[in-house]
Amino acid sequence: MTSEQYKESGAGPAVIFNHGTLMDYTMFDPQLAFLAANGYRAISQNSRVLLGKATPHTLVDLADDTAALGEKLGLSSYVVAGMSTGAFMAVDFGLKYLDRADGFIIIEGQACAYPEDAQIAFDAEFEKFNVDGMVSRERAEWAAPFCFGEYTYANNPGLVDHWIDHWTTKIPSRAVWAQGASWVHKPDLTERLREIDKPVLIIHAAGDMPVPIERAYSMLEKLPDATLVKVPKSGHTSNLENAEVVNYAILGFLDRIYKRRSRT
C-alpha cells in the first residue's frame, strides 16, 4: 500500500518510521522490505512538509501526526521509529503518547538541545532553503557530506548520487527549511528520558558527524530500558549506508518486544 502520506508492507505487529530532514518516506525502503519478509507490518510516513504544509512546526506537531496516522490505520499500539528529525520526534512521542508505544527505535538521534552558536549557524543555513522550487544542486551537494559518511563516499558513491538527484527532483526546498525549524531550537529533554519506560533501541553510527555518538551515550544513561547498537562504515544515514546491520538490529529488537522465537 502506497499513498502520498504513507507506504507500508507486510502484516503483523506494526512499526511506524519517520524520516529525517531532506529525506522522505522512501529512505526506509530497505527496512520495509526486510521487516515485511520477517513477519512485521512496516509503515513509513512522509512528514507534513511533503504534504503541502511546508510551514514551521514543532517536533510535538510531528508526534501528533504519528499518533493520528496510528489512529487512521486502526493501530492500538506500535513501535515508533525515526531517523534524525524522526528520532528527535520519537522522544516527544514518548513523553506525550507513551501508552500507544510498544517501544522506540532511535536512529541517529539526540535528546539534548543545540548550543546557541549552533542554532544561529543552522538558522542561517536553513534560511537558504527558504525559496521556491526543488532543492538546488548547490544546496544538495552542501548537505550530502552531513548525511553520508566517508566510507559511503569511497565505497558506495551511487547512494550519494541517488539522494542528491532525489533531493533536486523530489524534495521542495522550502520543505527542508520548515522541517529544519522544527528541531534547531528544540528543548533539552535529557532529564525527562526517565519517563519513557518502554524498550528503546538506539542505533548510532560512530562516524555520524552532525549528531556525534556521545549524544547517544547520554540517552543510554537516562533511558530505563535502552540498548545501543553501534553501526560501522556509516555516517548520519546509517539505515541506508549499512542497512544490513540496522535491519538485523531492528529485527532482534522487535522479536524481543513481541516475544518471537529466536531465528538462529
CATH no. of 6-114+187-257: 3.40.50.1820
As a whole number of angstroms, the distance between CA 26 and CA 186 comes to 25
Instruction: Provide the residue-wise pLDDT of the chain in tens; the chain has 264 residues.
Output: 688 999 999 999 999 999 999 999 999 999 999 999 999 999 999 999 999 878 889 999 999 999 999 999 999 999 999 999 999 999 999 999 999 999 999 999 999 999 999 999 999 999 999 999 999 999 999 999 999 999 999 999 999 999 999 999 999 999 999 999 999 999 999 999 999 999 999 999 999 999 999 999 999 999 999 999 999 999 999 999 999 999 999 999 999 999 887 655
What angle do helix axes 29-36 and 243-257 make, rounded to 10 degrees?
A: 50
User: So what's the pLDDT on residue 91?
Assistant: 99
User: So what's the pLDDT on residue 65?
Assistant: 98
Does residue 94 contact residue 192 with C-beta atoms inside 8 Å? Answer: no
Q: Is the dihedral of CA 23, 24, 29, 31 positive or negative?
A: positive
User: So what's the pLDDT on residue 1?
Assistant: 67
User: So what's the pLDDT on residue 53?
Assistant: 79
